[in-house]
Amino acid sequence: MDLRYTDAEEAFRAELRAWLAEVVPTLGPRPALTDWPARRAYDTSWQGMLYDAGYAGIDWPVEGGGRGASPVEQLVYLEELERAHAPYVGVNFVGLLHAGPTIAVEGTPEQRARFLPPILKGEQVWCQGFSEPDAGSDLAALRTRAVRDGDEYVVTGSKIWTSHAEVADLCELLVRTGEEGSRHSGITWLAMEMDRPGIEIRPLETIGRSTEFAELFLDGVRVPVGNRVGEENDGWRVTMVTLSFERGTAFVGELLQSMEELRRIRSLARRVGLWDDPEVRHRTGQLGAELDALWALTRRNVSQAARTGVPGLGGSVFKLAFSELRQRLATLGLELLGSAGLAWDELEATDGSGPIGNTRLLEQWIGSFSRTIAAGTSQIQRNIVAERILGLPKG
Amino acid sequence: MDFELSDDERSLADGMRRLCEGRFPMERVRAGEGRRALDTEGWSALAEAGVFSLRLADEEGGADLGTAAAAVVFEELGRALVPGPLAATHAAAGLVKGAATGDRPVGLLRRTPPVPGDPRPVLVGDLGSLGALLVVADDGVELVEPDAVGGAPVEGGLDPLTPLWRLEAVPRGTPVGDGPVAEALWRDFLVVEAAFLVGMAAVTSEMAVGYAKVRRQFDRPIGSFQAVKHMCADMLVRAETARAAVHAAAVTVDQPDVGDAVRAAHGAALLAAQAAEANARACIQVHGGMGFTWEVPAHLYLKRAIVLWRALGPATRLADVVAERF
């Protein structure tokens, strides 16, 4: 076991760190969370800068325009971005982490040439049309129907939890092309342009009063057959290929942010005179120990991916532990504020020492509830851990 | 950066597992229930295998291996639930003459600032077999000769594999190390004891999973019910996160430039103790009525977890060190 980085890894780090130190301070202020057009502009312009500097999609395969970076380089990359407080991947998430890698591996040369460069350059934004009102954890039950009509598919149905739908150019869409009840064997993967007639976007309001995701209603949307990635009815396998790109680095940024958040919470405890409270110290130390452990587990998962080339199942273990930890972390922060944590709008401290920090903590707290649901609920993660790692029988 | 076990570490673990399977199968370990003295034959076998000396330099009779190797070895010892003051003797190897060879088993006690009016006696394990007792405080380490301790045997200890002695207070001894020595000794002790606890947590997880696969109720294995299956998943999560923490702490002791080894050791000990206890509890629960019987060894893992945790100090103190140094 070795936690030191090689000279080559350190050289990569140094080069990236130098570049980030140069460009990050030149970035403008982040747009408001509710201003989606501004967020799109900000995130895509950052992606363009990454592209120009040779840092776009570094983990993508070379044939897809990436650098084919090793899992460890990817870890260093994410660590440095976080350290420099560089912008988050934002609206580029689906393109860079899902649709792009899928097309890079499963797409035709023509599809690769058409779809991949705009993702890497930040010119096109993708959203994801997987879940449906009746197909959440049980994704293979999806019913949005695509019927072949000449060289087009006619798509009718609805999708839900589609993030960034309003600002997306394209949607990675899973549709039912097989018979009803064909489950995994009757699904097809389509790239759907979001400006096609018949697409209605209805934003959903979250418990935090934000509109991070939307419902999509598809009424006879015509998608060219040339937009199909993989064979008809082979979309489930195509989708699973994307998951094989996961190298244990999916939560590196969030994990490092959480570590910083814990330090902020400690500062807050000192500021409000509660740092001598044994319970506050106990909870802080417990969270710190768990965060350190998850950082260790991240490096273990990345090392495993580096050795075997395939992602381990450690990702489920990590996701389960981390998402539940985040709720406890946010709860501690909010509790330290007492009644001052009940308001959304930022409150000024009574002693003139500035904002109390309530908006941020409330956002963190509310946001933490989505972590145990999105990308596989904790219950599904426990099934995965129990069945695929421990070999317990399906219910 | 490669945080997987190296080939050498893997073969060390395999070798240790084989030694434990040969020397310390559960029937043999359980034959020592109620004992007052160490199984000297087993203890010598561990000493010969280098369990206590492996981190010492060649010229000191060691194998010149690091803390990571020690963690790998102690995980195996924990899996087998080997009794005796293993972690303390290992941690004391460079400090107490005779510890590395196993000739002087060493006990370890932590001295904390006295709480006025606290009437609790101090119970220590294996005192009758110790060649030295180390008392660790923030400002230094003292060595107490066992004859000078004067403990009284306590019959009927919680863990049938850990004989107890009663002390009226933590004794005074001869200084053998200053603050930094105390810090390093305690840090190393935490890491190897945490590795032992992780081994225990892994075994109880495997026992529960194994039982959930074969025990049938309602015409199906109980492991197919989510209520049981999710308990098993949580056991694995606890064992694996604690294991990663312990390994990181061990590597950080060996490679101090990668992090704060003291913080890592305290955090790892905290999570490992929690995992060992919680997994043993869950193991009892998954075994149902059988889990409450003396026959099924789940209770031995629970009891040992508690015994070892008491020596590490309360969760609040372990967490406090992490909180300050995070």
Tell me which chain A residues have a C-beta less than 8 angstroms from the C-beta of B68. Answer: 1
What residues does A176 pair with on adjacent strands?
A: A145, A187
Please give the torsion angle defined by the CA atoms of residues A290, A292, A295 and A301, in that order, rounded to the nearest 10 degrees. -70
Q: Exposed, middle or buried: residue A24 (CB in 10 Å: 0-12, 13-18, 19+)?
A: middle
Beta strands, E only, A234-282: none
Tokens of B13: 């673990």
Instruction: Answer yes or no: are the C-beta atoms of B90 and B192 closer than 8 Å.
Output: yes
Tell me which chain A residues have a C-beta less than 8 angstroms from the C-beta of B223. Answer: 386, 392-393
pLDDT value of position B234: 98
Q: Exposed, middle or buried: residue B120 (CB in 10 Å: 0-12, 13-18, 19+)?
A: exposed
Instruction: Answer yes or no: are the C-beta atoms of B260 and B253 closer than 8 Å.
Output: no
**Residues above pLDDT 90, as percent of chain A:** 89
- Quote the crossing angle between the two packed helices B298-312 and B179-214, to the nearest 10°: 160
Domain presence at residue B165? no
pLDDT value of position A212: 86
What residues does B152 pair with on adjacent strands?
A: B166
Domain with CATH 1.20.140.10 in chain A: 252-389
Contact state of B236 with A293 under an 8 Å Cβ cutoff: no
Domain count, chain B: 1
Domain presence at residue B136? no
Instruction: Answer yes or no: are the C-beta atoms of A208 and A367 closer than 8 Å.
Output: yes
Nearest CA in chain B to A266: B323
Q: Exposed, middle or buried: residue B156 (CB in 10 Å: 0-12, 13-18, 19+)?
A: exposed
pLDDT tens-digit profile of B133-164?
A: 999 999 999 999 988 998 999 999 999 999 99
Chain A contact present for B323, CB below 8 A: yes
| Domain housing B226 | 181-325
pLDDT value of position B296: 98
Chain A contact present for B221, CB below 8 A: yes
Please, how many CA atoms are within 13 Å of residue A108, restricted to the half-sphere of its CB? 12
> For A348, which DSSP code?
B
pLDDT value of position A156: 98
Sign of CA dihedral B140, B145, B146, B152: negative
The CATH number of the domain holding residue B193 is 1.20.140.10
Instruction: Answer yes or no: are the C-beta atoms of B124 and B109 closer than 8 Å.
Output: yes
Tell me which chain B residues have a C-beta less than 8 angstroms from the C-beta of A285. Answer: 266-267, 270, 318-324, 326
Contact state of A317 with B241 under an 8 Å Cβ cutoff: yes
Q: First CA to last CA across chain B, in angstroms?
A: 22
Domain with CATH 1.10.540.10 in chain A: 7-120
- Over range A209-218, report the average pLDDT: 93
pLDDT value of position A33: 83
Strands B106-110 and B132-137: parallel
Tokens of B296: 């099924």
Contact state of A293 with B232 under an 8 Å Cβ cutoff: no
CA distance B149 to B188: 24
The CATH code that applies to domain A252-389 is 1.20.140.10
What residues does A187 pair with on adjacent strands?
A: A176, A234
CA distance A226 to A111: 8
CA distance A62 to A68: 5
Chain A contact present for B3, CB below 8 A: yes
What residues does B166 pair with on adjacent strands?
A: B123, B152
Alpha carbon of A196 to those of A191, A222, B200, B270: distances in Å? 12, 7, 59, 56
CA distance B94 to B107: 14
Per DSSP, the three-state class of B124 is strand
CA distance A166 to B45: 69
Provide the residue count of chain A: 395
Per DSSP, the three-state class of B164 is strand
Chain B contact present for A1, CB below 8 A: yes
The amino acid at residue B113 is: P
CA distance A243 to A97: 9
Tokens of B253: 């002791």
> For A99, which DSSP code?
I
Closest to A31 in 3D by CA, of A77, A87, A72:
A87
Domain presence at residue B233? yes
Instruction: Answer yes or no: are the C-beta atoms of A280 and A345 closer than 8 Å.
Output: no
pLDDT tens-digit profile of B217-244?
A: 999 999 999 999 999 999 999 999 999 9
Tokens of A316: 């489920």
Residue B1 has pLDDT above 90, yes or no: yes
Tokens of A294: 């998850």
Per DSSP, the three-state class of B142 is strand
How do the residues of chain B divide into helix, strand and coil, expressed in percent and rounded to 5? 60, 10, 30
Alpha carbon of B23 to those of B70, B163, B304: distances in Å? 19, 20, 19
- In chain A, the largest separation of any two C-alpha atoms, in whole Å, equals 72
Tell me which chain B residues have a C-beta less than 8 angstroms from the C-beta of A267. Answer: none
Tokens of B267: 């955090």
Nearest CA in chain A to B266: A289
pLDDT tens-digit profile of B77-130?
A: 999 999 999 999 999 999 999 999 999 999 999 999 889 999 999 999 999 999
pLDDT tens-digit profile of A38-79?
A: 999 999 999 999 999 999 999 888 888 888 899 999 999 999
Contact state of B4 with A300 under an 8 Å Cβ cutoff: yes
Domain presence at residue B257? yes
Radius of gyration of chain B (CA): 19
Sign of CA dihedral B111, B112, B116, B117: negative
Q: Residue A297: which of B68, B220, B241 has the nearest Cβ?
A: B241
DSSP per residue, A167-219: G-SEEEEEEE-S-TT-GGGGEEEEEEETTSTTEEEEEE--TTS---EEEEEEE
Contact state of B326 with A317 under an 8 Å Cβ cutoff: no
Domain presence at residue B79? no
Instruction: Answer yes or no: are the C-beta atoms of A91 and A40 closer than 8 Å.
Output: yes
* CA distance to partner chain B, nearest, from residue A378 (Å): 10
Contact state of B233 with A300 under an 8 Å Cβ cutoff: no
What residues does A132 pair with on adjacent strands?
A: A135
* CA distance to partner chain B, nearest, from residue A329 (Å): 13
Residue A311 has pLDDT above 70, yes or no: no
Contact state of B248 with A3 under an 8 Å Cβ cutoff: yes
Choose the mutation target among B4, B213, B235, B255 for the interface with A, i.e. most A CBs under 10 Å. B4
Contact state of A290 with B241 under an 8 Å Cβ cutoff: yes
Lowest mean pLDDT among A311-325, A361-375, B172-186: A311-325
Q: Count CB-CB contacts under 10 A for residue B166.
A: 14
How big is the CA angle at A3 (ends A5 and A308), to the nearest 5 degrees? 85
CATH 1.10.10.10 fits A126-233, yes or no: no
A positions 10-29 inside 8 Å of B (CB):
none
Instruction: Answer yes or no: are the C-beta atoms of B196 and B78 closer than 8 Å.
Output: yes
CATH 1.10.540.10 fits A7-120, yes or no: yes
Catalytic residue among A246, A254, A324, A363: A246
A positions 288-317 inside 8 Å of B (CB):
288-297, 299-300, 302-304, 306-307, 314, 317
Chain B contact present for A5, CB below 8 A: yes
Domain presence at residue B211? yes
- Quote the crossing angle between the two packed helices A358-371 and A314-336, to the nearest 10°: 150
- Over range A231-240, report the average pLDDT: 96
Tell me which chain A residues have a C-beta less than 8 angstroms from the C-beta of B1. Answer: 2-6, 9, 72, 75, 299, 302-303
Chain A contact present for B265, CB below 8 A: no
pLDDT tens-digit profile of A190-201?
A: 999 999 999 999
pLDDT value of position B37: 96
Please, how many CA atoms are within 13 Å of residue B186, restricted to the half-sphere of its CB? 26
pLDDT value of position A313: 75
CA distance B98 to A230: 68
Nearest CA in chain B to A304: B4
Provide the residue count of chain B: 326
CA distance B326 to B318: 12
Chain A contact present for B135, CB below 8 A: no
Q: Residue A262: which of B68, B250, B326 has the nearest Cβ?
A: B326
Q: Is A260 a catalytic residue?
A: no
- Over range A236-247, report the average pLDDT: 82
User: Which H or E run includes A3?
Assistant: none
Q: Residue A3: which of B3, B6, B320 has the nearest Cβ?
A: B3
